[in-house]
Copies of this chain bind each other. A is one copy, B any other.
Amino acid sequence: MDHLRDDAHAVEAALDASLPAETAWPARIHRATRYSLFAGGKRLRPLLVLAACDAVGGNRADALPLACAVELIHTYSLIHDDLPAMDDDDLRRGKPTSHKVFGEAIAILAGDALLTRAFELLGQVPADATADQVRRRLATIALLGEACGTSGLIGGQVVDVESEHLEVDAATLERIHRAKTGALLGACVRGGGILGGAHTESLLRLAEYGSAIGLAFQIVDDLLDATQGSSTLGKTAGKDVAAGKATYVRIHGLERSRALVGELLAQALDALAPFGARGERLATLARRIVERSA
């Protein structure tokens, strides 16, 4: 747990350095990007990147740019999802959403800026980077692009928006969730592994782990939306149900949803077995994801 705290400090410092200062031209966009990036996120995605790099015995400094990039991308996706044309949310992590504070135009541009900066960060390597380091960096860009594209993050959001007020079956729901949430979480884990120098067998194990925690994460989100109040969530509770959105709880019920989360946690921990003690941070993060629902 202390190791994870160290990682969290390293991530905060790196995120702070990853964006221009608030006073940089043009100031308004930098106030907006920083407002959302430092709005109290738990940094789960960056911690997964670093923990995966650690699991394969890599050097965490090599993984830090990806750790920042995934948090920038996560933040962009929240800003755009909250827009009036999308989920129309006023509250995120207990604070007014970006478009409420800065207006719609700047909120759209702030999302665009975070997405762009994420890839720019990954494109920047020290002049003395080795051929291996450069090649791995490029591989994570392809991986992240795919995870955030129309078969991943964006595709999931498209279908989520389209499915409002429609009856969605269990298979479609799983597909939405795997794309919308699972793809990026999976890319964090695999990307951290790649930057850590993982071989094929380790990457497959990391992919299994990522797939299990990705789905578990979303089911826990549905459970929280169904069972907790807005003040606990820091966002409007019961919103998915009110919007007529498909959720695990709606389709499978509370008990079955909770049982599914337990099964997915067991799968995730099982996938970590070959890493021994080095997989401990990933195991802790998997438990932390599940315990949000306690």
Interface residues of A, Cβ cutoff 8 Å to B: 20, 24-26, 28-30, 33, 76, 80, 83, 85-86, 103-106, 108-109, 111-113, 115-117, 119-125, 131, 134-135, 137-146, 148-151, 154-155, 157-159, 161-162
Known contacts A104-B85, A115-B115, A116-B145: A154-B122 contact under CB 8 Å: no
Shortest A239–chain B CB gap in Å is 16
- Give Cα A125 to B136, complex, Å: 11
A119 proximity list for chain B (CB < 8 A): 119, 141, 144-145
User: Which B residue sits closest to A20, measured CB to CB?
Assistant: B150
Report how far A155 CA is from B117 CA in the complex, Å.
Answer: 12
User: How many whole Å from A79's CB to the nearest CB in chain B?
Assistant: 11
- Classify the secondary structure of A's interface with B: helix
Most B CB within 10 A of own CB, among A103, A137, A149: A149
CA distance A115 to B112 in the complex (A): 8
Please, which residue of chain B has its CB at the minimum distance from the CB of A104?
B85
User: Which residues from B are CB-within-8-Å of A161?
Assistant: 105-106, 109
Interchain CB contact under 8 A, A155 and B29: yes
**Shortest distance from the beta carbon of A91 to any chain B beta carbon, whole Å:** 19
* Interface residue from B30, B86, B149 paired with A113 (Cβ < 8 Å): B149
A131 to B137, CA, bound (A): 12
Determine how close the nearest CB of chain B comes to the CB of A219; give it in whole angstroms. 21
**Given A30-B150, A80-B112; A142-B155 close (CB under 8 Å):** no
Q: In the complex the two chains form, what is the Cα distance from A141 to B118 in whole Å?
A: 11
